[in-house]
Structure 1
Amino acid sequence: MNYYDAKAQPPPSAPPSYDQRPPVMGIPVQSPSSYPFLDNIQPIGSSPSPLNAHGSGIPGKWSTGLCDCCSDVRSCCMTCWCPCITFGQVAEIVNKGSPSCGISGGLYGLIGFATGCCCIYSCFYRSKLRKQYLLPESPCNDFLVHCCCESCALCQEYRELQHRGFDMSLGWHGNVEKQSQGMAMTAPSVGGMGR
């Protein structure tokens, strides 16, 4: 055994340490989880990641139940009297702004007028919402939920997006603009030369 072979081998009494991490350096910033509705915004050209509002891949859970419509009386009344508005707002947020609330709501109303069965269209948006936030398909599959309880399903989806930080009256683009203004205001300031 020569000098170089002995030097290359670690001593037998000291086990290798794999859990040591380098020290953290840099400027502390606000955690991304404090901006829940931007969790699913992806850069152009990147593939979407199915994360829930907390940024983890663990399946989420609905923030309210299907029959908790009276927990938000305003959205409940709006959905009962004009479900196309609620559907349009949900569809705009789920589709990230394209098509707009007016187009989605108009198409929903047209399908309802032509077929009398809007659940054919709206159940697809429930599926999209569930996939974005990894929500369970409960109490039954999406088509049956919308077929049997259309108003309750729309109210639940509306409330879910509200609880995840969206201001439904602003639409997708308004929420993104509001969030970008909020991020600019909370950005850490770096000291510089004064006048």
Structure 2
Amino acid sequence: MAYTKTHPFIITNQPQSRPMVNPFHDFNNEWTVGLCDCCNDVSQCCYAYFCWCCFLGSLAEDINESKTSCCCISNILAVYRMKVRATLKIRGDSFSDACVVCWCPFCAGLQMRNELRNRGLA
């Protein structure tokens, strides 16, 4: 019978458990533009006021959506707002997005446009 000499394994580092990060709670940013700051850029304000459909189409292009989606889907502005907020990791929820869009769509649209411009995305 032959003996084989085995060397004991020495563990120098204990396995570390990583804390579970919930991606749904990782929204730490705030809007850089307030909802009531919609007329800070007068040219955009006039563009949205006098040609709302064209404004929505250009906003859709800025967030990589189809221009025709604003004509086909009711309350599309809330969907755009949710997409902008989720992409930019801005705090909020779908209920507040729907309320803002329902009560002040003009301000909500301009807030999104100004936010995208502030971040160099439009």
Taking structure 2 as the reference length, the TM-score comes to 0.69
Task: Please list the CA deviations of residues 125-152 of structure 1 after superposition, one character each: whole Å capped at 9, or x if unmatched.
Answer: 10111111111228x7111111110100
Kindly indicate whether residue 110 of structure 2 is the aligned counterpart of residue 155 of structure 1. yes
- The residue type paired with residue 156 of structure 1 is Q
Q: How does 1:101-180 map to 2 (within 5 A)?
A: 101=67, 103-105=68-70, 107=71, 120-137=75-92, 141-166=96-121, 168=122
Query: What RMSD, in angstroms, separates the aligned Cα atoms of the two structures?
Result: 2.9
Task: Please list the CA deviations of residues 45-102 of structure 1 after superposition, one character each: whole Å capped at 9, or x if unmatched.
Answer: xxxxx8xxxxxx55211011001012111111111111122221222222x2x42x3x
State how far apart, in whole Å, the 1-side matches of 2:30 and 2:52 are: 24
Distance 1:124 1:70, change over 3 A: same
Task: Determine the structure 1 residue equivalent to 2:19.
Answer: none
Distance 1:153 1:58, change over 3 A: closer
Q: Secondary structure at the match of 1:70?
A: coil
Runs of 4+ aligned structure 1 residues displaced above 3 Å come to: none
The alignment of Structure 1 onto Structure 2 pairs a total of residues equal to 105
- Runs (5+) with no aligned partner, structure 2: 1-6, 14-22
State how far apart, in whole Å, the 2-side matches of 1:150 and 1:86 are: 12
State how far apart, in whole Å, the 1-side matches of 2:99 and 2:45 are: 20
Give the counterpart of 2:49 among 80, 104, 109: 80
State how far apart, in whole Å, the 2-side matches of 1:143 and 1:154 are: 12
Q: Using the aligned pairs only, state the percent identity.
A: 34
Kindly indicate whether residue 15 of structure 2 is the aligned counterpart of residue 60 of structure 1. no
Give the counterpart of 2:39 among 70, 83, 88: 70
Distance 1:135 1:58, change over 3 A: closer
Contact 1:87–1:104, Cα closer than 8 Å, also in 2: no
Contact 1:122–1:146, Cα closer than 8 Å, also in 2: yes
